[in-house]
Structure 1
Amino acid sequence: MSGDARRWALRGAHTEYAVTVPAHGRWLELVAWGPHGVADGPSPVAYDGPVPFLTAGDAAPVEYATDADRPFTGADLVVETATGHRRVGFGFTGAAHDPAAGTLAVTFDDPVTGLRAVLRYAVPAGADVVRRWVELTNTGAAPLRLVRAGSAGFCVPTPHGALLSHQWGQWAQEFQLDHVDLGHGAFTIGSSQGVPGHLHVPWLAVRDRAEPDGSVWSVAVAWTGSWEITAERDTGGLTRVRAGRRLPDGPLELPPGGDLTLPEVVGAYSPDGLDGLARVWHRYQRLLAGDRLTPRPVLYNSWEATYFAVDAKSQLELARIAADLGVETFVVDDGWFVGRDDDTAGLGDWTPDPAGFPDGFEAFVAEIRALGLRFGLWVEPECVNPRSRLYAEHPDWVYQVDGRPLTPIRNQYLLDLGRPDVAEFVHSTLDGLLRRYDIAYLKWDFNRPRTEPGRVGADGPRDLDGAHVTNLHRIYERLRRDHPHVLVESCAGGGARTDLAMAARADIFWPSDNTGPLDRLAIQYGFLHANAPHLLSSWVTDAPGLFDPRPRSLAFRFVLAMAGVLGVGADIRRWTPEQRAEAAGWIARYKDVREVITHGDVHLVGGPDQPRCAVQYTSPDRRRVVVLAWHTGRSDGPGLLPSRPVRLPLRGLDPDAGYRHGERRYSGSHLTAVGLPVTWTPDHDAELIVLDRE
């Protein structure tokens, strides 16, 4: 750390993040961000030369900028007074730095409006990420309006052009990894749906175009509502990434004496390209999981077998077969509650249907448990059908604009979770189910975005998005506190609710409703770039692909689902004895390796659009390597025409050590330089390979 009293450095496991307050004191700016020691030398992002037609702040690597600091190239915070004036200007007033704890707080004040901003930083021990957020306080006598309320700006040196990586999608096609060559100008992704959404993932990676396999910087938003990330590259080779909330409900009100904490955003760095960056994110999410980071049970979900036709007889028939296969948790999906014959009615009335469970739901759950299975249940507690008792009794509980018709999506409306009475109803409903029934797994779904920007009887602007997310997080936290044995899966019509804030509160993510094999391979490939395997729920089903319908074997589907948390969702009543035997074998093999998949270092080999595609997991003690590999393309005539095996280059191995797979021995050097051989045939399109170090 420098001897300068206004310069500070935060150190992670392998990284360093250094900032300083310039002599003028108007802002905090980045010195350097990268490996240990990166700040020991001239800053790669500093600039104090001429700026024709701009201001100094427009070109400076400002950490958190008002519109007075960066009036032309993009501010993080824009504040408006009651008279409509803008241009809040800060001055440095103090800092608190705890190197041992990895924290920094830098305070700025605006003498005109009385707005105070505390820029907070935290680097978790053992991680290579920097957490950032801002605490705002109105110490003045007049109200303020936040027109833009971003959480941070991250500056990245890209002298040869910026190569951006992001994930786009839609329902059934989430987490599609793509890249943008940004020479100049801006690139923006985000959501105004009240959830992170299917269209974009709140994650962005930035590399210099000349070194795509070298240093990479990444930013992710820890916010389960509407969000935005913008990357803009200037003419001087600096790419600045702005990240934080998007404000679909309009400006945020900050009354005199009021305070507001903006959402956390997290920056990550790796010297090893996107593959290394994935491991940085994985380590951080494992820290977020804490003592809940344990291998997840193999589950069965009944949705694709029975859809809404749920009754005790059909579910028990499936459960008996699932137990014989080695499944450990049985999840009853949609259709178990009163009025739920289809998706037009029942949501909100969370009482088991007595017609489907004539002996009582408690007795049904007991029968599932008697098979040696944990019991799980699907819920969608934030939504309500117009045809429900709840809506008839509380029509004012849904988002709506006075005098305007409601917009149904999937035949349902969205409850205003920001209302205290609605939040209490949702919590008490779920808490009651967990206390009454022996439930060990909760699949929390969310099948529609917010469309109406209003609340019945509201007498002024409301931060509906912020209130909904705040209460959602509180409910998750209360349920985890009071029911620590219950695993909670976050689902939103597939992968529309995956962000770092949910990774800290949910145990598992459902990335997509699409379980077609080759479609799912692309989805999971993108997912693992930003999310750890313990968050990846994946089912083996019989569903065809929507975008790539080429058939694949049952083995392919099982090896694919093993990439995270293994589940089965097919109608196993229709499987032949041979298929069931094969399934039982794969489940047993998964149980043998899931400890490594949960805790191991991940290397992504190739990709779904390449001839070689695999994921390597290496145990923390480096003694065991698990490789999941899939055949993605055409067959090259093995055994009939000249051809050679596909080679999968592995990473992180000891070149001088030996690694054994059955009777075959490889050196670490061979596996790294030449690669692990796999041969695909029409009948062999996937493989699980376990290598044990000698």
Structure 2
Amino acid sequence: MTEPLTPITSWGPEALTLHLAHGADLVPRLAVNAAPGRAALPLVEVELAGQGRSGTSGKRHVDGAVSRRLRYDGHDADGERLTVRTRDPETGLRAATHFRRTGTLPTVSTWTELTAGDRTADIENVSSLVLSGVAALLGAPGRWERDVRLWTADNPWSGEYRWQGVPLGAAGLIDTGMTRFGQTGSKNRVARTSTGSWPSSEQLPMGWLAGPDAVLAWQIEHNGSWHTEIADRFDEIYLLLSGPGRREHQWSVRLAPGESFTTVPVTFTLAPGRDAALAALTGHRRAVRRPHPDTTELPVVFNDFMNCLMGDPTTEKLLPLVAAAAAAGCEYFCVDAGWYDDERAGDGPGGVPGWWDAVGAWEPAPSRFPGGLAEVTDAIKAAGMIPGLWLEPEVVGVRSPLAASLPDEAFFRRDGTRITEWGRHQLDLRHPAAVAHLDDTVDRLVGEFGLGYLKLDYNIDIGAGTDSGPHGPGHGLLEHNRAYLRWLDGVHDRHPGLVLEGCAAGGMRIDHATLAHVPVQSLSDQQDELLIAAIAAAAPTAVPPEQGAVWAYPYAGQSDEEIAFTMVSALLGRVHLSGRIDLLAPDQLALVAEALTAYGGYRRELARALPSWPLGLPGWRDDWLALALDTGTETLLAVWRRTGADAVREIPVPAGTRAVVPVFPRGAPGEAVLDRETGRLRITLPSAPSARLLRLPRAVSPLS
């Protein structure tokens, strides 16, 4: 489009001002901090069955024929919200695209609501955000192939938060030179997509584009399937974000006249650099998260699973752990998996316990607790801690009585056949019988044992979706995803003090819908203390520090440096202590207690702290790692030396840093010397592995 555009409105934070305009076709187009130009796309991209692209072809989800017909139909705006209405005169389809600010932060959240006109609309894809002009926005007009880098995070099981940045050209998006011959671009794209009920099992549903002048970062706020697309159009690049679609996720929805569908929300920010962009997203995550006292108090949890009982709890094994956890300073004690297993059947397929395909009733196993589970939970209370239990609420084992007693419609099915995944069936929380079963289970356990904590795990990925009438199976999954979030809210409403920990085989559900509904989120299942350090250091890119649960698992036979190393990994997040601490020598347990005492002195500050990475984002095999949390008046700095011969490292520190104060461990070998003139900290750690937590007081926050 080359004709002059008519402005519609300008709205949003000063650093992220949205400009909307339309041409003679009356189709609104969006740009940030500048008027929409030649490459600008329609405000929302919609695909209806039988109606594809116009003027080009390929796998991209832009240039749709319907999108080019969505005419401006008015807008409403105030300081906090903007809604733009459009309408397709051919089908009568209406779209209301919403934008919302998060307080004074430079963030905007957006989603679209589609409503069918006087005839049925079969929707196959709809964007949550489509933004053009990104290269100019980032300071790289005409140079995006080389000067714009795409940052995304691989997120394999037990190797989460692996950030990598590559120039768009190296990612596969190049300027083919065809725009000067009248073409729109290369027809190519760089796509990141996830299909199924583990939204972060391969990559995190977030990322950023970094250019010479700015960083554009985003997150997709959905606990199921999602899609990100970056591509060239004319002399520019665009970013498209969405939930599920037909091609990638087997999603579609049929809207009868007057019916509506709302896309998944996404949030984006524009900032001068990476750390400022992630600080803005961190602030947004806190603002939209359901309030809970847990995220301000940050109590220490002992969990008996990791490198400890590993799914085999008994009264005999638990009582010594209860005593040791209380002595160390823990405030919650969570009995993890296996407490319901009366078969004691040994290993099953995939190295899991024999109870794997029999779960669902969630009744304590008498053979494990001869005096009843209450003997253990009462001992936890008597020791001054609050008891908790592990649950995997969304699944029912194929051998569980529940598999026969619940109706077929309460489970995921495809073509009428119930789906089995690794010995489990998936409950469909759209069905009232499934919800009633889970509500009864939670209410019974909380009431009978006085629980204050539930760890909610989820160890299968059920795939594209489930039967859902005239809609695609992906729509059944999306509706279940939304029902799961409503169920979480219902549990909190009935039990306001109950702490719910989100978990999905560790970090397979690190999404910003789930994170808005639980106060604690498990970050990983990693069992190696050297490797979990990299996970802990990188996790605040995606999870606020006060919400991210990090395992610390000291064990007998470790040196003091090794115990300090595993403890430091948890001290800038939520401490989830585990390991056979009942077997530690008294001086070793005292070192663990020292770490938890130090944590108690600053943990409430983590709820407002903003992360940065003075040595860069952690590499999986890096010898040295560093994570800094800015609390407003000081920096808490964790430094790990994992391997390598170099015992000395220089680390840049925030301007105005005036001292270095050891936090944990105190009196350990090595030194940390501040050079105030150069703004660098020279730290010496004589042995590897070793780690230190330091406090760097200063006058002003560089991120404030």
- TM-score between both structures, scaled by the size of structure 1: 0.85
Determine if the alignment matches structure 1 residue 122 to structure 2 residue 100. Answer: yes
Alpha-carbon separation, structure 2, partners of 1:285 and 1:618: 17
> Paired residue for 2:224?
225
Is 1:625 paired with 2:635?
yes
Q: Determine which of 296, 310, 335 is the counterpart of 1:307.
A: 310
Secondary structure of the structure 1 residue equivalent to 2:90: coil
Per-residue CA deviation, residues 354-394 of structure 1 (Å, 9 max, x unaligned), is: 33233333343222111001111110011111111111323
* AA at the equivalent of 1:497: R
- Pairing partner for 2:600 from 591, 594, 599: 591
- 8 A contact 1:76–1:153 mirrored in 2: no
1:382 maps to which residue? 394
Q: 2: distance between equivalents of 1:131 and 1:580?
A: 46
Show the counterpart of 2:326.
323
Q: 1:437 is matched with which residue: 431, 436, 449? A: 449
Q: How far apart, in 1, do the equivalents of 2:524 and 2:463 lie?
A: 22
Change in Cα spacing, 1:349 to 1:133, as seen in structure 2 (3 Å) is same
The one-letter code sitting in structure 2 at the alignment partner of 1:557 is T
Deviation at 1:302, TM superposition (A): 0.5
Question: Are the structure 2 counterparts of residues 88 and 143 from structure 1 closer, same or farther at C-alpha, using a change threshold of 3 Å?
Answer: farther
Query: What is the alpha-carbon distance in structure 1 between the residues aligned to residue 471 and residue 277 of structure 2?
Result: 44
| SS of residue paired to 1:344 | helix
| Equivalent in the alignment of 1:673 | 678
Q: Where does residue 207 of structure 2 map in the other structure?
A: 204
Q: Which shows bigger deviation, 277-286 or 682-691?
A: 682-691
1:689 to 687, 691, 694: 694
Query: Relative to 1, partners in 2 of residues 1:683 and 1:6: Cα closer, same or farther, differing over 3 Å?
Result: closer
Residue equivalent to 1:254? 255
Return closer, same or farther for 1:267/1:351 CA change in 2, 3 Å cut-off: same
Structure 1 contact 654–669 (Cα < 8 Å) conserved: no
Query: In the superposition, relative to structure 1, how do residues 492 and 32 fare at CA in structure 2: closer, same or farther (>3 Å)?
Result: same
CA 1:112/1:340 → structure 2, altered by over 3 Å: closer, same or farther?
farther
Q: Identify if the C-alpha distance between structure 1 residues 406 and 32 changes in structure 2 by more than 3 Å, giving closer, same or farther.
A: closer
The structure 2 residue matched to 1:170, chosen from 140, 156, 175, is: 156
Residue 154 (structure 1) shift: 2.6
The within-5 A match list for 1:333-344 is: 333-339=336-342, 341=344, 342-344=354-356
Aligned to 1:280: 280
Residue matched to 2:21: 21
Q: Which amino acid aligns with 1:398?
A: F
Equivalent residue, structure 1, for 2:185 = none
Distance 2:528 2:662 in 1: 30
C-alpha deviation, 1:443, in angstroms: 0.8
Q: Decide which moves more: 237-246 or 499-508.
A: 237-246
Alpha-carbon spacing, 1:401–1:261, altered in 2? closer, same or farther (3 Å): closer
Question: Shift in Å at residue 265 of structure 1?
Answer: 0.8
Corresponding residue number in structure 2 for 1:47: 37
- Aligned partner letter, 1:347: V
Q: Partners in 1 of 2:574 and 2:450 — Cα distance?
A: 22
Give the secondary structure class of the aligned counterpart of 2:69: coil
Identity score, percent: 22
2:11 aligned residue: 9
CA distance in 2, matches of 1:230, 1:552: 45
Counterpart residue type for residue 169 of structure 1: N
SS at match of 2:22: coil
* Cα distance, 1:683 vs structure 2: 6.1
One-letter amino acid of the counterpart of residue 257, structure 1: G
Q: What letter is aligned with 1:47? A: G
Q: Indicate the residue corresponding to 2:298 in structure 1.
A: 296
Aligned counterpart, 2:178: none
Residue 538 of structure 2 is matched in structure 1 by 526
The residue that corresponds to 1:268 in the other structure is: 269
**TM (normalized to structure 2)?**
0.84
5 Å-filtered alignment, 1:85-104, equals 89-99=69-79, 102-104=80-82
1:542-581 aligned within 5 A: 553-581=562-590
Query: Residue in 2 aligned with 1:55?
Result: none
> Which of 542, 547, 550 is the equivalent residue of 1:538?
550
Change (3 A) 1:283 1:87: closer
Q: Does the aligned pair in 2 maintain the 1:164–1:181 contact within 8 Å?
A: yes
Post-superposition Cα deviations, 1:168-221, rounded to whole Å, max 9, x if no partner, equal: 13211122111222132421112111230310110020012xx2xx41001211
Letter in 1 for 2:109: R
Whole-Å Cα distance in 1 between the matches of residues 232 and 561 of structure 2? 43
- Decide whether the 8 Å contact of 2:27 with 2:68 is kept in 1: no
Residues in 2 aligned to 1:122 and 1:73: alpha-carbon distance in whole angstroms: 32
Given the superposition, is the C-alpha separation of residues 5 and 634 from structure 1 closer, same or farther in structure 2, using an over 3 Å criterion? Answer: closer
Structure 1 stretches lacking a partner, 5+ long: 34-38, 49-58, 80-84, 545-550, 639-644
User: Conserved in 2, the CA contact under 8 Å of 1:8 and 1:97?
Assistant: no
Cα distance per residue 1:282-307 (max 9 Å; x no partner):
11112123643313111111113222
For residues 244-264 of structure 1, give each alpha carbon's deviation from its aligned partner in whole angstroms, at most 9, with x where no partner exists: 324434321111121111110
Letter in 2 for 1:223: H
Alpha-carbon offset, residue 6 of structure 1:
1.3
The more displaced of 555-564 and 60-69 is 60-69
Q: What residue in structure 2 maps to residue 605 of structure 1?
A: 614
SS at match of 2:513: helix
CA distance in 2, matches of 1:258, 1:432: 38
**Pair 1:454–1:672, CA change in 2 (3 A):** farther
CA–CA distance in structure 2, aligned partners of residues 78 and 484 of structure 1: 47
Alignment check: 8 A CA contact 1:605 1:614 kept:
yes
Structure-2 change in CA distance of 1:553 and 1:671 (3 Å) = farther
* 2: CA distance, partners of 1:246 / 1:490: 26
**Cα distance between partner residues in 2 of 1:149 and 1:591:** 47
1:266 Cα deviation from its structure 2 partner:
0.8
CA distance 1:126–1:518, change in 2 (3 Å): farther
What runs of 5+ residues in structure 2 fail to find an aligned partner?
A: 1-5, 47-51, 175-187, 345-353, 700-704
In 1, the alpha carbon distance for the partners of 2:597 and 2:591 equals 10
Q: Cα RMSD over matched residues? A: 3.1
Correspondence for 2:412 among 391, 394, 399:
399
Counterparts of 1:507 and 1:428 in 2: how far apart (Å)?
Answer: 22
Q: 1:30 to 1:566 in 2, by over 3 A?
A: same
Task: Select which of 76, 94, 111 maps to 2:89.
Answer: 111
- CA gap 1:672/1:255 in 2 versus in 1, 3 angstroms: farther
The structure-2 alpha-carbon separation of the partners of 1:389 and 1:239, relative to structure 1 and needing over 3 Å to count, comes to same
CA distance in structure 1 between the aligned counterparts of 2:407 and 2:73, rounded to whole angstroms: 50
CA distance in 1, matches of 2:327, 2:590: 9
Counterparts of residues 393-472 of structure 1 (less than 5 Å): 393-394=405-406, 396=408, 397-402=410-415, 406-409=419-422, 411-451=423-463, 453-455=465-467, 461=472, 463-472=475-484
Change (3 A) 1:316 1:28: farther
* Matched length: 638
Contact 1:146–1:251 under 8 Å retained in 2: yes
CA shift at 1:86, angstroms? Answer: 6.3
In the TM superposition, residue 464 of structure 1 has moved relative to its aligned partner by: 1.2
Check whether the contact 2:55–2:63 (CA below 8 A) recurs between aligned residues: no
Contact in 1 for aligned 2:161/2:538 (Cα 8 Å): yes
Contact 2:674/2:681 (8 A) holds in 1:
no
State the SS of the aligned residue for 2:525.
Answer: coil
Secondary structure of 1:245's partner?
coil
Are 1:152 and 2:129 matched, yes or no? Answer: yes
Distance in 2 between the 1:76 and 1:186 partners? 10
CA shift at 1:479, angstroms? Answer: 1.2
Cα deviation per residue 1:14-53 (whole Å; 9 max; x = unaligned)? x2222212133543323324xxxxx4xxx4xx433xxxxx
